[in-house]
């Protein structure tokens, strides 16, 4: 195996790792956003968990980040929460999710 082949494999492995990390971070941040939105809507228990899980599964079904933001913004519009506030909360949730993933050992992610 040449140095070039080893380098190519290294880049491919890094790409796969980065994609997996982003997938997990997106799912986790959507769950965090969903729990926050559920609390703002006054949902608790199973209803709150269902709302948050729906955001994660909708994203898995191909929903874009813009569609997720639009859904949550529409749901929270009656509570006086602006789309900008929802977008900021999603950014905060993404940072929190990345920090949680970095703090978790690889075998528990």
In a domain, 17, yes or no: no
- The answer to whether residue 50 sits within a structural domain is yes
pLDDT of amino acid 16: 87
- pLDDT at 62 exceeding the cut of 90: no
Q: How many domains does the chain have?
A: 1
Judged against a pLDDT cut of 90, whether residue 82 lies above it is answered with: yes
Backbone angles phi, psi at 62, to 5 degrees: 105, 5
Any domain includes 67 = yes
Question: Residue 107 above 60 pLDDT?
Answer: no
- Sign of the C-alpha dihedral computed for residues 33, 89, 100 and 8 taken in this order: positive
Tell me what the mean pLDDT of segment 16-26 comes to. 87
**Tokens 């529409």 found at:** 74
Output the average pLDDT for the chain.
Answer: 90
The domain containing residue 95 runs over which residues?
29-108
Instruction: Find all residues with CB under 8 Å of 37, minimum gap 6, and list them.
Output: 51, 52, 55, 72, 75, 76, 86
In a domain, 6, yes or no: no
E strand or H helix at 101, and its extent?
helix 83-103
CA distance 85 to 73: 9
Q: Is there a domain that residue 16 lies in? A: no
Does this model's pTM top 0.85? My answer is no
70 within some domain: yes
Which pLDDT does position 106 carry in this prediction?
A: 64
Per-residue pLDDT band for 3 (boundaries 50, 70, 90) equals confident
- 49 is a domain residue: yes
Q: Give the residue from 78, 104, 97 showing the smallest Cα distance to 29.
A: 97
What is the rounded distance in angstroms from the CA atom of residue 21 to the CA atom of residue 12? 14
Q: Is residue 4 part of a domain?
A: no
């Amino acid at each position: 195996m040449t140095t070039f082949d080893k380098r190519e494999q290294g880049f491919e492995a890094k790409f796969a790792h980065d994609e997996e990390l982003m997938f997990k971070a997106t799912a986790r941040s959507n769950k965090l956003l969903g729990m926050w939105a559920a609390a703002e809507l006054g949902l608790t228990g199973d209803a709150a968990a269902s709302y948050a899980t729906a955001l994660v599964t909708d994203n898995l079904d191909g929903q874009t980040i813009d569609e997720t933001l639009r859904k949550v913004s529409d749901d929270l519009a009656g509570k006086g929460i602006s789309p900008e506030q929802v977008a900021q909360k999603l950014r905060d949730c993404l940072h929190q999710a990345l920090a949680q993933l970095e703090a978790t050992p690889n075998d528990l992610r």
